[in-house]
Every structure is written in C-alpha cells, then in structure tokens.
Amino acid sequence: MLDISLLFQEVEDPRRSNATRHDLHEMLTIALLSTLSGGEGCVDMELFGRAKEPFLRRFLRLEHGIPSHDAVSNLFRALDPAGLEKARARLAAGWAARLGGDVVAVDGKALRRSFEDAASRSPLHLVQAFSTQAKLVLAQVEVDGKSNEIPALPRLLELLDVEGRLVTADAMHAQRDAAAAVTAKGGDYVLALKGNQET
C-alpha cells in the first residue's frame, strides 16, 4: 500500500518560516484527497477538509485545524510545479505498478486556452506518459517553447519506471536516441514510422 505521508517528502516548502501554520504534507494530503473525490479548486479543498475532518484526524495531526482556501491557494501559488509533478508521478506509478504488464503511451498535447493571441504567446505544450491499463497520466513534462517533443522524451523517462513495460510513441519519436533512452531504463518500445523517414 502506498504511504501518503511519504508521497510528498521531496516537495520543498516554499513558505517563509512565519507563514507555516499548517503542515505542508497535511495540506497536500487534503488537496490530493479532495481532488480524488472530485474537488476542483482551493475552496473545494477547504470544504472537503471540513466535511471529512474526523476521518482526516485518524492519520493527520491537524494541529491548527483545516487550512482555509486562502492558505491552500497561497501554498499552490508558491509551490515548485516540478516537485509537485514528481510526487504526482510517483503516486500514479505506484498505482500502475500494481496492475503490471502495462503499456505506456507517450504523446504530446497542446493545452487548450493556454495561449494569448494579444501577447503572442504560444499554447503550453506537454509530453505525457499515459498508462493504458490504469487509464491515468503517469508523468508529464513541458516542451521548451523553442524546441519540439523530441528532447522532452528523455526528461519524461527520468520520471518513470518503464522496466518490463512497453513504451509506444508516434513518428516524431522514431529516433535512435529515443529508442536508446527507453531500453536504457529496461523498457521495450514500439515507435510509429512514416514512409518519408530514413531507417
């Protein structure tokens, strides 16, 4: 069983020492459980915490009670997204590992409404690893705005355990370096090819 208290141990607390009334790991645990229960924002996280406080006190100290939505919002604005993504990836990988024999599908996505025409900003582009058996995103990394998905794949694989798994990707990743990165981590690969690609 996954120990939630260990899940966030590598997430650094960005708050100043005088602004740490609530324990970081407890706040993140409430946020995770709220999200898994369908919560969509900081207000939902506070409401979930208040509604489930007796249950949460079984495994959380909650020395200062349930954090307010403002406290949760301030925390998430200050958190390093990379550290939080690593924790989320560990959680997803733990669930997927229990299923075994998984296929990991790698694909790039441009997020809708993540751009501004007036500011000439491009949409946020991510490369994601999706567990086809668990039906969840195992990890994701941002594609550098001046690049493409190819250099993002090795960074994505750093977040994953693909040993004994099959990694699939589209023709953009049909590169020797991509194949080598997957096999170096103990995985196998199926990469799509286009007729105009060299062997």
pLDDT digits (tens, 9 = 90+) for 54-97: 999 999 999 999 999 999 999 999 999 888 888 888 888 777 77
Domain 101-191, CATH: 3.30.420.10
* Residues pairing with 157 in the sheet: none
**How much is the pTM?**
0.69
The residue type at 12: E
Q: What is the mean pLDDT of the chain?
A: 88
* Cβ atoms 96, 102 nearer than 8 A: yes
Cα angle for residues 14, 27, 31 (degrees, 5° grid): 115
Q: What is the mean pLDDT of residues 19-44?
A: 94
Handedness of CA 31, 35, 41, 47 (dihedral sign): negative
DSSP state of 123: P
Both tokens assigned to 51: 């509604």
Cβ neighbours for 15, distance < 8 A, ≥ 6 positions apart:
24, 74, 75, 78
Delimit the domains of the chain by residue range.
4-79, 101-191
Query: Rounded to whole angstroms, how far apart are CA atoms 120 and 117?
Result: 5
pLDDT at 159 over 60: yes
CB 112 within 8 A of CB 175: no
